[in-house]
Amino acid sequence: MNGPLSLPNLFTYFRLAAVPAVVACFFWGGAFSANDHNARWTALGIFTLAAITDYIDGWVARRFDKTTSLGGMLDPIADKLLVSACLLLLAADGTIAGWSLWAAIIILCREILVSGLREFLGNVRVKVPVSALAKWKTVAQLIALGFLLAGPAGDRVLPHNTDIGLTLLWLSALLTLYTGWDYMKAGVTTVVESDR
């Protein structure tokens, strides 16, 4: 089936549903309680399943020719919502604080910039393919967020868990800057050429 209920689209719907589910974990018991270790492990479990489906849905869509326009539209939206919601929650609870907030801001700004550029470039029929480095950026981001969602609960199992997550967050922020430049270059080049 290649319609709205194709398997890749179902995975994407799951990722969209995972966003409020992860947020709900941080409001465990009716109030914002980011130090509840059970809530953190539950949030990490939901997030991990969502991250795995991000890989699987793309693979299934390409391997079995199940790509759809709906999936093409919703897939990047689901990814950006999941990453953005997690970054905001982790900033609100203090897991991401101080200088590390800059890494989160870089990632959020790039996501907004790329969304706008993709819309503009789509309107003028210019495609910017996702590079291999951009895929590694996404992997680094998801792993960083996994460590940070575990946060203090993870620190009890793996010493310096949060520090590892913050280091990976900075790495993904640097990759974010570098890969975002490709989109900027394509956007600026297209604007300059169209204004001639």
CA distance 155 to 148: 10
Specify the pTM.
0.88
For residue 9, the model assigns a pLDDT of: 82
Look at residues 69, 186, 196 and name the one whose alpha carbon lies nearest to residue 116.
Answer: 186
The tens digit of pLDDT for each residue in 171-193 reads 999 999 888 887 777 777 776 77
The tens digit of pLDDT for each residue in 95-120 reads 999 999 999 999 999 888 877 777 77
- Average pLDDT for residues 132-137, to the nearest whole number? 84
Whole-number average pLDDT of the chain: 85
How many domains does the chain fold into?
1
DSSP symbol at 64: T
Is 173 domain-assigned?
yes
CA distance 34 to 25: 8
Q: Is the pLDDT of residue 31 over 70?
A: no
- Average pLDDT for residues 164-174, to the nearest whole number? 96
Q: Which CATH number do you get for residue 49?
A: 1.20.120.1760
For residue 194, the model assigns a pLDDT of: 65
The fraction of the chain above a pLDDT of 70, given in percent, is 88
Is 1 domain-assigned?
no
Token pair listed for 173: 């922020």
Local confidence band at 60 (pLDDT 50, 70, 90 cut-offs)? confident
H helix intervals, the chain: 7-25, 37-63, 69-92, 100-123, 132-157, 161-194
Backbone angles phi, psi at 120, to 5 degrees: -65, -50
Q: Is the pLDDT of residue 126 over 70?
A: no
Is 2 domain-assigned?
no
Q: Is the pLDDT of residue 56 over 80?
A: yes
Residue 71's domain spans which residues?
7-194
